[in-house]
Chains A and B, each alone.
Chain A
């Protein structure tokens, strides 16, 4: 777990069980100017969400040990203070997408994705709050 504090910047809670991808995403988001807190499983994610209420955005993998991202999302469904969720998944089937959307995810991004796409998605989230954006797959041609 790693916390970087830059008070004026939005704070992102990042959950990913693959350490390499976690590290990479943290670096990229930091370079894009966000505060990032990382955790490598679902229960840590839930703990963070329940204890610290100052996150502006959650980016979470759907499949993780202990608790899956989907389960965390479900548990936060009726929490009015829950920050928006962006979900990452390698099982990009319709059903997973629909389930995540039903539980309130604002965006679902399929692995593998372009890091620029991710940054763009995060930026769009912060510029047009509460707007639900759904990205399907990685669309390199438009980048």
Chain B
């Protein structure tokens, strides 16, 4: 609506200006014309009077002539006629209405017509007709006509012009308002609603405005845009669905692969003890067994069953790691906590266990028990990798530069690090890639199931962090655990 109002105002302003100018000039012209007419009339009368006055003056004397002029006013008051002197000693009675200086032309015996204001405020048209008297003194017949009539006429013209302008502005406003609403506002509202619908992603409604104007063009442009957007969205949806499908397939394949790996691991881990148990049972059943042998077979069956139970437990803890009980903890406290647990094992193997922690606390939001499990796993691995004596160093630190792996969220987070470095045998480069796979182990049978690192990896990943490994054959391995730091204030 605002656009219509603006256009209407602009148009009306122009019309009003033109109309006003026209009125002004025509009134001016009429006024001029009126003045000329009046002046001519006055001169006409004046000429007649001058003739009569001149005759009277010659035949009957000065006083009769002036009296005649005074009498002329009695019948007709619209035009006042007087005798005036313009030369010599002028009594008040015969003083012209305007100063004598303005009447110079009278001395050349020419008629003078001019407009003058009266002290009462009215305008007069003054016409002076010169008359040379017998004594040689110049006088004049003064005809003064009030211009009030003309003013009234001009006023009336002005009033009519104003009314015409007012009425035309009013009717134009109504007319333009109605037409603007039909031609502009209504289609604009439709287009706006359509644009808003498209904006919210609703591409179903079609809006086509008839006609060939700009608005119809805009409407067909929006319509084309709607079609293109709808197509683009459809294509995107199809692509998206395909992507999801592909991802789903990939995940399924991964699940199958993990399942296969797990099955193979379980088969291997349980196959051997099962074999021993079945064999020992058969031995017990067979003829000619010494009681001592039978007893030994029974013991072995028990041991193998225990071994399998152990494997099952580890598998279960791997399968349902459970929900972690996260809280704000200081990594240094966790680090200190595992020292007494590891000290006996380390001492037994002649290994020095050193802990280097930061002075400042390293707050993380984590499950302390799970973190402890990870640390125990990694440190025990380190101890087992050192058949002879050596050092294991557990360090907590605030790394200055961190290369965040691509799959980790929160690239801008602040990271804290725990390092477990041993001086063991190191990890073969070709094994480095597999060490976090479930059931991958290089240890002898019965020494490890290959689940420890896999569990550690899962726990740290679940905490939003990752584990990095660097290893040199013959020199040792270094496991670095990265976890996101929590703001210091939250530390309990």
Contact = CB atoms under 8 A, between A and B. Distances in A.
B283 A28 contact: yes
Contacts of B304: 20
Contact of B272 (A90, A92, A115, A116): A90
Contact of A112 (B272, B444, B446): B272
Interface in A5-26: 17-18, 20-21, 24-25
Interface string A20-44: 1100110110010000000000000
Contacts of B267: 90-92, 111
Contact of A91 (B268, B300, B446): B268
Contacts of B29: none
Interface string B277-300: 011101100100000000000001
A114 B283 CA distance: 11
Residue of A18, A31, A116 with most chain B CB atoms under a 10 A cut-off: A18
A90 B444 contact: no
B276 A24 contact: yes
B316 interface: no
A27 B283 contact: yes
A91 B280 CA distance: 22
Contacts of B275: 21, 24, 111-113
A104 B357 CA distance: 57
A139 interface: no
Contacts of A115: 278-279, 282-283
A24, A27, A63, A65 pick with most chain B CB within 10 angstroms: A24
A94 interface: no
A118 to B, nearest CB: 9
Contacts of A63: 268
A78 interface: no
B279 A111 contact: no
A93 interface: yes
Contacts of B446: 18
A93 B263 CA distance: 11
Contact of B271 (A17, A24, A90, A93): A90
B300 to A, nearest CB: 6
B264 interface: yes
Given A28-B283, A65-B444, A116-B282, A21 B268 contact: no
Interface residues of A, number: 22
Candidate in B267, B272, B275, B304 with the most chain A CB atoms within 10 angstroms:
B275
Nearest to A114: B278
B311 interface: no
B184 interface: no
B274 interface: yes
Interface string A108-139: 00111111100000000000000000000000
A34 B153 CA distance: 151
B445 interface: yes
Contacts of B271: 90, 110-112
B443 to A, nearest CB: 8
A90 B425 CA distance: 27
Given A91-B264, A93-B264, A112-B271, A17 B276 contact: no
Contacts of B282: 114-116
A13 B163 CA distance: 130
A28 B283 CA distance: 8
A28 B276 CA distance: 12
Interface string B63-106: 00000000000000000000000000000000000000000000
A28 B286 CA distance: 11
B272 A21 contact: yes
Given A111-B271, A112-B274, A24 B279 contact: yes
A25 B272 CA distance: 12
Nearest to A93: B264
Contacts of B300: 20, 24
Contacts of A24: 275-276, 279-280, 283, 300
B288 to A, nearest CB: 9
Contact of A18 (B264, B272, B280, B283): B272
Interface string B117-152: 000000000000000000000000000000000000
A110 to B, nearest CB: 8
8 contacts: A17-B445, A20-B273, A21-B276, A21-B279, A24-B275, A90-B272, A91-B267, A111-B267
Interface of A: 17-18, 20-21, 24-25, 27-28, 31, 63, 65, 90-93, 110-116
- For the complex of A and B, the 7 pairs showing the least CB-CB separation, nearest first, are A90-B271, A112-B275, A111-B271, A90-B268, A112-B274, A24-B279, A20-B276
